[in-house]
Amino acid sequence: MVMVRALLGKKMGMTRLFGEGGRSIPVTVIKVGPCYVVQKKTEEKEGYNALQIGFQEVKEHKVTKPLLGHFKKANTPCFAHLKEIQVEDPSQFEVGQELKVDIFNIGDKVNVRGVTKGKGFQGTMKRWGFGGGRASHGSKFHRAPGSIGCNTTPGRVIKGKRLPGRAGGHKVTVRNLEVVDVRPELDILVLKGAVPGARNGLLEIMRV
């Protein structure tokens, strides 16, 4: 079996499975791969060992001309996503080789990286959970952040102060999720628990 550190996938959604004694287990269903080796990077040439893998085939007119030339040089289809993954020996792989979900086994632990759902511009109450001001009549202070300064010393807003701004849309890694089921014929991986991002969002599934 080909041993690689990570693969790319797409979040399909959440559901549940029933374990022993009818226990309900919340799970996330991920379509993993198939990914293809687009380029090999070696210690001698690039200074490190890695594979560049592609995921989710697209038509040629949907990629830039530099990327189109890159794919044609590798004699592979065009892909929407490219990612480098570290390997110990790139010579064990061939350009164009298919990497599938069967590298994972039931009971394995994996880390999953994705981008959280974007919430847009939010105030301090929704973004940070501030309590807000008094709700009594005439207070005129309900959802404002309150004082943010330091009077005259140091006379500025301290770095890292929690203020209104964009919420969500951050790259997050959820660690040590258990593989509950693997279905290679459907390219499906089922993990216990939740993973970052919205449905159809891109995910990186990494071995622990």
Quick check: 137 and 200 in contact, CB under 8 A?
Answer: no
| CA–CA dist 10, 1 (Å, integer) | 23
Of the ranges 2-11, 45-54, 57-66, 195-204, which one carries the lowest mean pLDDT score?
Answer: 2-11
pLDDT at 130 over 80: yes
- 111 beta partners: 206
CATH architecture under which domain 1-33+103-130+162-208 falls? Beta Barrel (2.40)
Give pLDDT tens digits for 170-182: 999 999 999 999 9
Question: What does the pLDDT look like over 132-149, one tens digit per residue?
Answer: 998 888 888 999 998 888
Model confidence band, residue 2 (pLDDT cutoffs 50, 70, 90): low
Report the pLDDT value the prediction gives residue 89, as an integer from 0 to 100.
Answer: 85
> pTM, whole model, 2 decimals?
0.82
Residue 91: CB atoms within 10 A of its CB come to 9
| Prior bond of 154 cis (ω within 30°) | yes
E strands in 159-201: 165-167, 171-183, 188-192
DSSP reduced 3-state for 168: coil
| Domain range 34-99, CATH class | alpha beta
Q: How confident is the model at residue 199 (pLDDT cuts 50, 70, 90)?
A: very high
Query: What are the extents of the domains in the chain?
Result: 1-33+103-130+162-208, 34-99
Q: Residue 109 contacts by C-beta under 8 Å, 6 or more apart in sequence?
A: 176, 177, 178, 179, 208
Least confident of 1-10, 17-26, 102-111, 142-151: 1-10
Q: Give the amino acid at 192.
A: K
Share of the chain above pLDDT 90, in %: 66
Q: Is the pLDDT of residue 46 over 70?
A: yes
| Banded model confidence at residue 91, pLDDT cuts 50, 70, 90 | confident
